[in-house]
Amino acid sequence: MSVHTLRIDEKDVSARAGQTILEAARENGIAIPTLCHLEGLSNVGACRLCLVEVAAVGGGTRLMAACVTAAAEEMVIQTDTERLREYRKMIVELLFAERNHVCSVCVANNHCELQDMAVAQGVDHVRYDYLEPTCGVDLSHQRFGLDHNRCILCTRCVRACDEVEGAHTWDVSGRGTLSRVVADLNTPWGASETCTSCGKCVMACPTGALFHQGSTVSEMIHERTRLSFLVDAREKKQWNA
Amino acid sequence: MNAPTTAVGQDEASPGTHPSGDERFARIDEAMQKHAFEQDALIEVLHAAQEHFGYLRTDLLHYIAHGLKLPSSRVYGVATFYHLFTLAPRGEHTCVVCTGTACYVRGVDRLLAAIEAESGALPGQTTPDGRITLEVARCVGACGIAPVVVFDGNVEGGQTEDSTLDRIRKWDHHGSE
Amino acid sequence: MDQNELRSIVEAERSERRPVQVRVCTASACLASRSREVAGRLRAAAEGAGLGDRVDVREVGCLRLCSEGPLVKVEPEGVLYERVGVDQADSIVGAIGGGTAEARVGDLSEPFFARQLPIVLENSGAVEPERIASYLAAGGYGQLRRVLREMTPQQVVEAITRSGIRGRGGAGYPTGLKWATVAKMPPGRKFVVCNADEGDPGAFMDRSVLESDPQRVLEGMAIAGYAVGADQGYVYLRGEHPLTIRRLRLAIDQARRLGVLGSGIFDSPFNFRIDLRIGAGAYVCGEETALMASIEGRRGTPHPRPPYPAQSGLWGSPTLINNVETLANIPAIVREGADRFAAIGTASSKGTKVFALAGNVRRSGLVEVPMGTSLRTIVEEIGGGAPEGRSIKAVQTGGPSGGCIPAAHLDTPVDYESLKALGSIMGSGGMIVMDDRADMVDVARYFMEFCRDESCGKCIPCRAGTVQLHRMLVRIRDGQATRDELHRLEGLCEMVRHASLCGLGQAAPSPVLSTLRFFREEYESRLIGG
Ligand SMILES: Cc1cc2nc3c(=O)[nH]c(=O)nc-3n(C[C@H](O)[C@H](O)[C@H](O)COP(=O)(O)O)c2cc1C
Ligand code: SF4
Ligand code: SF4
Ligand code: FES
Ligand code: FES
């Protein structure tokens, strides 16, 4: 298998053919922030938090999403420049402004990837208007709930349901900032004809948008890693299923 | 949801005998057949459904999802992504105001505000009496004669507040006779 | 179809032609001014005057001076009538063969026409868009036939490369290079897609080309298909324009029935089929990856490139995507030769460009000029300048992805690099003139609103950023913002421009940045506390 050598943050690293910048970085202990990426699911390059600066041929740098860009020979990459830090901060602030993220009353408080991201990027206030949209909460499912107020439209639930469970209960409706995650034909979750109640979307969700009803905070912890464990196990045929 | 439950079989959609009793479903079947029930044909089929039913009722989306063997959430996602598709019935008359750049530069904002005030509807809405649906379009291709309003499919250029309101009032009067 | 058939159709078409042609424009704008009724009355008038066998009333495509429609042109006399009313039909027919009609006569020697160089539009207003025979009689499909008989695919790619033509859809990517990339991909399923989405909200060039001379675009696609090794083409057309859809559908049907599209075209082994795909109202679907998603029946959300469509496009196969105008140039390049084409225009921008000239300008319509023509020539000479008592403030090119060029820069030549240097882009050809009444902050707000409404919502910078940018612009326009807010606006513009996934978000800040560059005082003077 061919191997590429490249430089990430002044460190020489090698990447196997087909590996993304993100994979190569993580294997070498270099952290790049991500939100829409989840191990085991396809990558969509949507949240833009994993943007890195790649030296361009004619000088200067180009911003590329590490999760969807293949590592190539002799790439020179910076993952943590001042410019990137500022952009990431803005992106997180935009998310907090877009919907109603009231962490203190959220089931995911203290183990929310958005919250972690805010801390990691040093977000201490939001410079933009809180849009305060009216968003519903769907509690029609016996075991799970969906709170649109906390959804960041990362589509991890959509991909988990489609790619791992094969049910394709979820999709995104509308467009732009009016986009919403929907089950079936905008059906209450509990009435969905396709949902198998497997809970994979809940595992995949980075925030408290999808949750176990009646769950306590501690029960939500470590859920997410189960999904990639499951995919990994299947790929390696560790299970017969 | 009260969709006609029989799925469309490739062979059973002969005109005049649609199991739902509504012949317009046969038109949807034709559209699906024309594309050999390929899932890629979703947008074409939605166009056909909207053409024959006026808008995309939930049962139609269900029917199409069934026919093309697509996840229903995907059909819903597509139907709501594209602005030409509408999931609500339209009024008797439609008034489409062009808000493209040429019309904007020629002051279409004032025209639109006047129509909103007169009809009480905002773009995308239908008056409560179901008479007029107000919509906006971004350039209808007649920039040379901006500002442009489309009344029931007829493109009219060089519009003024007066000329537009006149047209709308005429609809009102005819409707209430 | 073989050569004899083609010849007999052309001969029949020519021999049936009556001595006098009365051409009535039935493209969008003229149609809106009831030109079809005018055509009907002209026909009746000709019959009534006993001229039925001498006069042909033909419904043609765009005669270009849209603001003065309905337009009627009488050939071979070469008289253009403007703003023709139905009641003027008798008088126009009466004036045939000498005499003056009671109708406004246009001046074909005025700059609006004299300064233009129609190549893409050479048949526009001459051939009948709804009859393929009329296109054939004008030499149509002759270049496809020649290419199939005399050139290898590689020679075609070379000719296109040598012509120097660059894409007319906005980005100006060299067409020859794109064709070569697709041609070089291993043999197998390949596609040609004609991007006819034309989403710029003040542009109607591509639509006019398709409404006026649809066969030309199909011929260009077939030549492209031969060159790159594709046997299937798609035209992706907006759903908003029933007339364009109908004409194109008719054109494809006619071409298929005649055999100029289909299997074994002109007795060669080349097969090429074209299907229509109708969009449903989404500007972002003009972006090539979103367009392909839409053709595949999905939500029109872009995906990251690479892979580029030329490598992995529709259903994973190599796909050539070109704009309508790019493809409409192809038959002319093949006919005239790459070198003659390359002689038109400037060093880096070859050939002509079609603009849709509109806004606060006296004469609006379709304008085709050599690349390198100055904005002043287009706006002041061809367009006649601002309306009575007004002066030109700025010219907007490139629509929501472009910028506003101030009057002081009107001597700028239109070519890809010059417009870019001014913070705008060539775009697909929308050109909107703004006079001294224009509020440039509101212009920026207008385009931001458009981008906000058209954002697909996939990536955060564009989805959530355009909403905030729009709110800031409203506050600045209304005098409710501080200097701090202006800085926030600029900072967010930077981020959205560099971090967004696709061209829509990346270019959404352009109108703001360009108005800030040239009209900054309009922003600053409204800030609270100065
Ligand atoms: C948001 C967006 C909208 C676009 N709209 C169009 C369009 O309406 N027509 C078009 O030809 N190209 C459009 N483009 C450019 C296409 O992506 C593509 O570059 C072009 O069709 C290639 O053809 P060309 O090389 O012949 O110019 C758009 C790009 C973006 C980012
Ligand atoms: S519900 Fe959760 S997983 Fe699904 S899109 Fe929203 S934030 Fe992402
Ligand atoms: S830039 Fe805008 S239109 Fe493009 S992918 Fe992102 S959200 Fe969608
Ligand atoms: S993790 Fe790469 S774009 Fe979201
Ligand atoms: S902008 Fe209104 S018709 Fe083009």
As for the ipTM of the complex, it is: 0.92
The CATH 3.40.30.10 portion of chain B extends over 93-174
Q: Is pLDDT of B108 > 80?
A: yes
C311-322 in b/e form (b: 16+ CB < 10 A) is bbbbeebbbbbb
A178 and C452: CB-CB below 8 Å?
A: no
Q: Identify whether the C-beta of residue A84 lies closer than 8 Å to the C-beta of residue A18.
A: no
How many A from CA of C161 to the centre of ligand 5?
35
CA separation for the pair C55, C77 (Å, rounded) = 12
CA separation for the pair B156, C11 (Å, rounded) = 40
Q: Encoding tokens for residue C279? A: 């969009």
Three-state SS for A177-217 is HHCEEEECCCCCHHHCCCCCCCCHHHHHCCCCCEEECCCCH
As its CATH architecture, domain B1-87 has Orthogonal Bundle (1.10)
The CATH 1.10.10 portion of chain B extends over 1-87
Q: Is A121 in the pocket of ligand 2 (CB under 6 A)?
A: no
Q: Show Cβ contacts of residue C354 under 8 Å, excluding neighbours closer than 6 positions.
A: C120, C121, C168, C205, C209, C325, C366, C367, C368, C429
Q: What type of residue is A115?
A: Q
C297 and B101: CB-CB below 8 Å?
A: no
CB atoms closer than 10 angstroms to residue A155: 25
The residue-averaged pLDDT of B49-64 equals 96
Average pLDDT, chain A: 90
Q: Identify whether the C-beta of residue B43 lies closer than 8 Å to the C-beta of residue C280.
A: yes
Q: Is A156 in the pocket of ligand 2 (CB under 6 A)?
A: yes
pLDDT band at B4 (very low <50, low <70, confident <90, very high): very low
Which of C458, C464, C488 shows the shortest C-beta gap to A95?
C464
Q: What type of residue is C20?
A: V
Q: Which residue of A has its CA nearest to C464?
A: A94
Pocket of ligand 5 (CB under 6 A): B 98, 100-103, 139-143, 146, 148; C 202
Q: With the C-alpha atoms ordered A108, A112, A114, A115, is the resulting torsion angle positive or negative?
A: positive
Residue C234's SS3 state is strand
pLDDT band at B2 (very low <50, low <70, confident <90, very high): very low
Q: What type of residue is B173?
A: H
pLDDT at residue A57 in the model: 87
B81 and A183: CB-CB below 8 Å?
A: no
CA separation for the pair A115, A108 (Å, rounded) = 9
CA separation for the pair C443, C457 (Å, rounded) = 23
Q: Look at A219-233, B19-33, C515-529 and tell me which has the smallest mean pLDDT.
A: A219-233
pLDDT at residue A216 in the model: 55
Three-state SS for C171-218 is CCCEHHHHHHHHHHCCCCCCEEEEEECCCCCCCCHHHHHHHHCHHHHH
CA separation for the pair A147, A149 (Å, rounded) = 5
Burial class (CB in 10 A: 0-12, 13-18, 19+), B5: exposed
Q: Is pLDDT of B93 > 90?
A: yes
B77-104 in b/e form (b: 16+ CB < 10 A) is bbbbbbbbbbbeeebebebbbbbbbbbb
Q: Is pLDDT of A215 > 70?
A: no
CATH code for the structural domain at B93-174: 3.40.30.10
State the smallest CA–CA distance between residue B69 and chain C in angstroms. 13
Q: Which of C401, C473, C457, C509 is nearest to C282 (CA)?
A: C457
What are the pLDDT tens digits along chain C (530 aa)? 667 888 888 899 888 888 899 999 998 889 888 899 999 999 999 999 888 889 999 999 999 998 898 999 998 888 999 999 999 999 999 998 778 888 999 999 999 999 999 999 999 999 999 999 999 999 999 999 999 999 999 999 999 999 999 999 988 999 999 999 999 999 999 999 999 999 888 888 999 999 999 999 999 999 999 999 999 999 999 988 888 999 999 999 999 999 999 999 999 999 999 999 999 989 999 999 999 999 999 999 999 998 999 999 999 999 999 999 999 999 999 999 999 999 999 999 999 999 999 999 999 999 999 999 999 999 999 999 999 999 999 999 999 999 999 999 999 999 999 999 999 999 889 999 999 999 999 999 999 999 999 999 999 999 999 999 999 999 999 999 999 999 999 999 999 999 999 999 999 999 999 999 999 999 999 999 87
As its CATH architecture, domain C139-342 has 3-Layer(aba) Sandwich (3.40)
Strands A3-8 and A11-16: antiparallel
The CATH 3.40.30.10 portion of chain C extends over 3-11+18-114
CA–chain centroid gap for A147, Å, is 17
Q: Is pLDDT of A222 > 80?
A: no
Q: Encoding tokens for residue A90? A: 């803005």
Q: Which residue of C has its CA nearest to B106?
A: C359
Task: Identify all chain C residues contacting A70, using CB atoms and an 8 Å cutoff.
Answer: 306
How many A from CA of A155 to the centre of ligand 3?
14
CB contact C384 to B (< 8 Å): no
Which fold is adopted by the domain A3-80? Answer: Ubiquitin-like (UB roll) (3.10.20)
| Mutation test residue for ligand 1: of C223, C240, C277, C287, the one with most atoms within 8 Å of CB | C287
Q: So where are chain A's domains?
A: 3-80, 87-235
As its CATH architecture, domain C352-431 has Roll (3.10)
Could you report the per-residue pLDDT of A126-146, keeping only the tens digit for each?
A: 999 999 999 999 999 999 999
Q: What type of residue is A21?
A: I
CATH code for the structural domain at C440-524: 1.20.1440.230
CA separation for the pair C312, C186 (Å, rounded) = 12
pLDDT at residue B177 in the model: 37
State the smallest CA–CA distance between residue B76 and chain A in angstroms. 5
pLDDT at residue B12 in the model: 43
Would you tell me which residues 183-222 of chain A have a C-beta closer than 8 angstroms to some C-beta of chain B?
183-187, 193-194
C455 and A128: CB-CB below 8 Å?
A: no
Which of A168, A174, A175 shows the shortest C-beta gap to B71?
A168
> What radius of gyration, in Å, describes the C-alpha atoms of chain B?
19
Q: Identify whether the C-beta of residue B56 lies closer than 8 Å to the C-beta of residue B85.
A: yes
> What radius of gyration, in Å, describes the C-alpha atoms of chain C?
24
CATH code for the structural domain at A87-235: 3.30.70.20
CB atoms closer than 10 angstroms to residue A219: 12
Task: Identify all chain A residues contacting B1, using CB atoms and an 8 Å cutoff.
Answer: 185
Q: Is pLDDT of B13 > 50?
A: no
Torsion of CA C270, C276, C281, C282, to 10 degrees: -20
Give domain C3-11+18-114's CATH number out of 3.30.420.130, 3.40.30.10, 3.40.50.1820, 3.40.640.10: 3.40.30.10
Q: With the C-alpha atoms ordered C345, C351, C357, C363, is the resulting torsion angle positive or negative?
A: positive
Q: Is pLDDT of A241 > 50?
A: no
Q: CA of A34: how far to CAs of A78, A154, C93, C503, in Å?
A: 15, 10, 72, 22
Could you report the per-residue pLDDT of A45-77, keeping only the tens digit for each?
A: 999 999 999 999 888 999 999 999 999 999 999
The CATH 3.10.20.600 portion of chain C extends over 352-431
Q: Is A192 in the pocket of ligand 2 (CB under 6 A)?
A: no
